[in-house]
Structure 1
């Protein structure tokens, strides 16, 4: 398994929420380590990937597509605007903002995608096909807790 040194099971907490948060941090750290050579964090990769699929798009519609609130999206977009990977322009309505990838953003996303593919394949192999399918089902069920 590329990028995964070994299997070290951790003792779970009786608190499901704590276990989910711990697992989330571990998975985030794993993807961050693999993506490190690209200079893009996993949250930035996710934002760029979503944007690539729906651009040009308003900030509100991008937040909805990503299932995050506008405040979080704006905070996550700021460094990407500052380094020139995305641009935000005024929309047809002067109150709306349209978000688009720049050429530099497309290039950075391409580089990061190769690394993300490696991370994804490693995690898929680590978990196994059956567990991945169970995981997808459970995550969807957990996301449905709130609308």
Structure 2
């Protein structure tokens, strides 16, 4: 695990939204690089983790749990389905579809979780215990803007 050091030399913007978007891109890029050996992206990892916790689940419920729209979820599911990591079947209601992990998906998720754990530990070490707790509190507060 490579330690993270330093601060970006550019001063923060007075716009909170811009600062959050820039930080989000930086963190996403960091996790993407860490997950690269697994062959999946952080958005795919998140989807697989949600499935692991809730499968089988309808597409609508999964989108609500992940707080993304169905169109984005369907777009994110397509490469996972094509790779055989998830399966989409008819639900109990014929109008709905249920999503579940395949054996291959569980294996990829297990391998990716080792890498995700390393990324998580690096970022938490970089932020420190206090800032990590404070960050999670602020993020939860911001998410509450749109319940």
Q: Flag whether TM exceeds 0.5 (same fold).
A: yes
Range class of TM-score, shorter chain: over 0.9
Task: Give the aligned CA root-mean-square deviation in angstroms.
Answer: 1.0
Partners of 1:3 and 1:119 within 8 A in 2: no
Partners of 2:5 and 2:126 within 8 A in 1: no
Deviations 1:32-62 (A, max 9, x none): 0000000010000000000000001100111
Is there any run of 5+ residues in structure 1 with no aligned partner, and where? none
**Cα 1:23/1:59, change in 2 over 3 Å:** same
Name the count of aligned residue pairs: 146
The SS at the match of 1:128 is helix
The SS at the match of 2:7 is coil
Shift of 1:14: 1.0
Q: Structure 1 runs of 4+ off > 2 angstroms?
A: 2-6
- TM-score of the pair, normalised by structure 2: 0.96
The SS at the match of 2:95 is coil
| Correspondence for 1:3 | 2
| Correspondence for 1:79 | 79
Deviations 1:94-126 (A, max 9, x none): 111010000000000000000000000000000
Shift of 1:5: 4.6
Give the whole-Å Cα distance in 2 for the aligned partners of 1:80 and 1:17: 31
Is there any run of 5+ residues in structure 2 with no aligned partner, and where? none
Higher mean displacement: 30-39 or 10-19:
10-19
Where in structure 2 are the equivalents of 1:24-35 lying within 5 Å? Answer: 24-35=24-35
